[in-house]
Structures are given as C-alpha cells and as structure tokens.
Structure 1
Amino acid sequence: MSCLVIVAYKPKPGKERELLAAIREQVRLLRSEQFISDHPISLVRARNGAIIEVFEWCSAQSKRRAYDHPAFRALRNDFSKACYYMPLAQLAESSQIFAEFEPVTL
C-alpha cells in the first residue's frame, strides 16, 4: 500500500539552493529505484522560509529499502548540511483551515 508523505525542511541560513539540489537528487534517485511513485512531487514555501515536500512512497517496503540504499543514506548527509527538519504543526499556516503556500519549482 502506498503512503503519501508531507515533510517540512527549514533551510539553514544561505543553504536553500543546496537544499533544493538535494531534494532534486533525492527525487531522481527514489524514482529511478522505484521507491516512490510517479505521483507529482509538490514543493511549496511557508512564510518562515520552510520548504514543504509532498511525495508518495510506493509501499512501506520501498521506504525501508530506500533507507538501506547507500546513495540515499549519503543524501541524508546533504540534507543535514542544508536544513533542519520541522514538524508541520510549527508552521503558522498549519493553524489555518485553508493553508496557503508559495509554489516552488525544482
């Protein structure tokens, strides 16, 4: 069974470009290894600068396989250099019924 994921990344100062490059590479890798579906990736920016990504794992098993993949683990290092992960509840927009975000293009 597939699983839709929403994750918020808060870029470290001056690191948004590196974060977007890491996201781009992550999408390429995960799709090439068929860990995520062909469902369109959504990227948006919150008012506080956080980048929110929405994607779909093909299955729980594909997620586990991805986390065991050496290239994916290496990408985790790129993410940790470029951003902090944050709970969606910390976004001001999360308290709104119709949360609005700025679209981001990869």
Structure 2
Amino acid sequence: MERKVSTDGTVLAFASYKPKAGKEQALLELVKRHLPILRDLQLATDRNNYIARSEDGTIIEVFEWTSTGAIGAAHEHPAVADIWEKMTLVADFIPMNNLQEGQSPFPGFAIIN
C-alpha cells in the first residue's frame, strides 16, 4: 500500500506489532531498541514516544519521523533492516484497522512506557 503523507515536515508514525505466541517480551525488548537506532541515524526526532498495548496484546509504537524522506531512508539502512527482520521473527506487522480499538473514532490503549 502506498503511503500518502501531505507534509514536508515531521511525520507521526503509528506501528502495530502483534506478538507471536510466547514472544511478547522479546518483541518489547526489540521495540525499545528500535527508536534509539532511528534516532542515532537522525531518522526519528527526540520527541517523546509511546509504547502501548491493545486489548488483544498488539504492541503499538508511536514516534515521529524527522521527514518523509527519513521513512524511505530507513528502508535502505542495514541497521534498521536488521532490527525490523528480528521483529518479524517475534511479531506480525498489522494495520491498526485490524485492532478492535481501530473501529472506534477515539481508540484508547494501555500505556507501557
């Protein structure tokens, strides 16, 4: 699916990771390492992020890309590709509309961090 972002500034990202059976802790450890990697590469801002959990156990990561170009650059960087590959071993990346909360105009999630 093509991403359409109508901004030349920063971009707010919502990522949804459904842990595979027995892999939630491993996923959380990877999610906590994810943003520092993006920040070290100057692909994500230093603004506060959120890690949350949906009712079905899906982990939601909310952070800010430095630009639309940073999104594409992340897909080409080996360090980012490495952590994303590790994440795919412990979770499925799912669209937020697959979550029960995604059916609501005002979804709420349990905050982890």
TM exceeds 0.5? yes
State the distance in 1 between where 2:32 and 2:57 align: 18
Structure 1 residue corresponding to 2:21, chosen from 9, 13, 24: 13
Please report how far the alpha carbon of residue 41 of structure 1 lies from its aligned counterpart in structure 2 after TM superposition.
0.9
- Counterpart position of 1:97: 105
- Counterpart position of 1:49: 57
- Counterpart position of 2:83: 75
Deviations 1:12-71 (A, max 9, x none): 011111111111111111111110011211111100000111111101112222221111
Q: Which amino acid aligns with 1:32?
A: D
Once the two structures are superposed, the pairs formed by residues 19-58 of structure 1 within 5 Å of their partners are 19-58=27-66
State the distance in 1 between where 2:111 and 2:19 align: 16
CA-atom RMSD, angstroms?
Answer: 1.1
State the distance in 1 between where 2:82 and 2:13 align: 21
Task: Give the helix-richer structure, 1 or 2.
Answer: 1
State the distance in 2 between where 1:91 and 1:9 align: 11
State the identity as a percent. Answer: 31
Secondary structure of residue in 1 paired with 2:75: helix
> What's the TM-score, normalizing by structure 1?
0.91
Unaligned runs of at least 5 residues, structure 2: 1-8
- Counterpart position of 1:84: 92
